């Protein structure tokens, strides 16, 4: 797959995940090895951590902490996305514990007050998360960033997984093989409508 196709067709996959096909541990390690080449703000590069969860009972326990905040979030904000995206989000939450691998992206420390700015903190892990998604896709695997449990259930998941208090969880990525390779560029605003030249809101150049 050429690079532009990879970059424009790597989607958030919720329905087209193969829940029955095991994912080799080496595939995850390979993708993470690629992901950690992403940029980060200076010293924050060393704050990134990944927690790979394969054990079924642990995935079930994590999924239980995701479902309640997910349902609340989907009820509250579901109208902001298309019915298809909402339904696919609901589907992922329903089958979550059957997705063979969870990868939790985390950062040692926390943003704000004494620590780094939120911009530097989260901006130091999201490039790696995206690279992880791209590396997965190039190997026929897929995922979706989920953040539901961070609303009120981060501590439950931390307790379950022995995550220390000084660690901030950033995203839970359920990973599986894809059941199709038929992904396309998504609808997005036109570049022309959101790109300004020389002065704010000057779209002409």
Ligand X SMILES: Cc1cc2nc3c(=O)[nH]c(=O)nc-3n(C[C@H](O)[C@H](O)[C@H](O)COP(=O)(O)O)c2cc1C
| Angle between helices 25-35 and 126-138 in degrees, nearest 10 | 130
- Shortest approach of ligand X to residue 202 CB, angstroms? 28
We find the least distance from the C-beta atom of residue 199 to ligand X, in angstroms, to be: 29
- Check if the beta carbon of residue 150 is closer than 8 Å to that of residue 169: yes
Q: Could you tell me which of 178, 175, 186 has the C-alpha nearest to residue 100? A: 175
Judged by beta carbon, residue 13 or residue 202, the one nearer ligand X is 13
- Please report how close the Cβ of residue 72 comes to ligand X at its closest, in angstroms: 12
- What is the smallest separation between the CB atom of 176 and ligand X, expressed in angstroms? 14
Of 81 and 202, nearer to ligand X (C-beta) is 81
Q: Which CB, 28 or 170, lies closer to ligand X?
A: 170
Positions touching ligand X (CB under 6 A) are: 11-12, 14, 85, 89, 92, 144-148, 186
Q: Closer to ligand X at the Cβ: 89 or 116?
A: 89
Nearest-approach distance from CB 120 to ligand X, in angstroms: 16
**Do residues 78 and 148 lie in contact, with contact meaning Cβ atoms separated by under 8 Å?**
no
What's the closest the beta carbon of residue 73 comes to ligand X, in angstroms?
7
- Smaller CB separation from ligand X, 147 or 160: 147
Nearer to ligand X, 24 or 94 (CB): 94
């Amino acid at each position: 797959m050429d690079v532009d196709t990879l970059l424009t067709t790597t989607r958030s996959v919720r329905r087209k995940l193969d829940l029955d096909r095991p994912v080799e541990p080496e595939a995850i390690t390979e993708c993470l090895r690629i992901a950690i080449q992403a940029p980060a703000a200076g010293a924050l590069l060393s704050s990134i951590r990944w927690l790979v969860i394969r054990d079924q009972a642990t995935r079930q326990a994590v999924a239980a902490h995701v479902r309640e905040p997910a349902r609340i979030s989907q009820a509250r904000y579901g109208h902001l996305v298309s019915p298809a995206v909402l339904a696919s989000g609901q589907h992922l939450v329903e089958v979550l514990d059957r997705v063979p691998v969870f990868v939790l992206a985390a950062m040692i420390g926390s943003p704000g007050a004494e620590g780094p700015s939120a911009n530097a903190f989260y901006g130091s892990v999201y490039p790696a998360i995206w690279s992880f998604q791209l590396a997965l896709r190039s190997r026929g695997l897929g995922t979706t960033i989920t953040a539901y449990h961070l609303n009120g259930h981060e501590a439950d998941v931390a307790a379950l997984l022995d995550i220390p208090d000084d660690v901030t969880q950033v995203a839970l990525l359920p990973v599986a093989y894809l059941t199709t390779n038929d992904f396309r560029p998504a609808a997005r605003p036109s570049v022309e409508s959101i790109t300004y030249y020389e002065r704010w809101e000057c779209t002409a150049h």
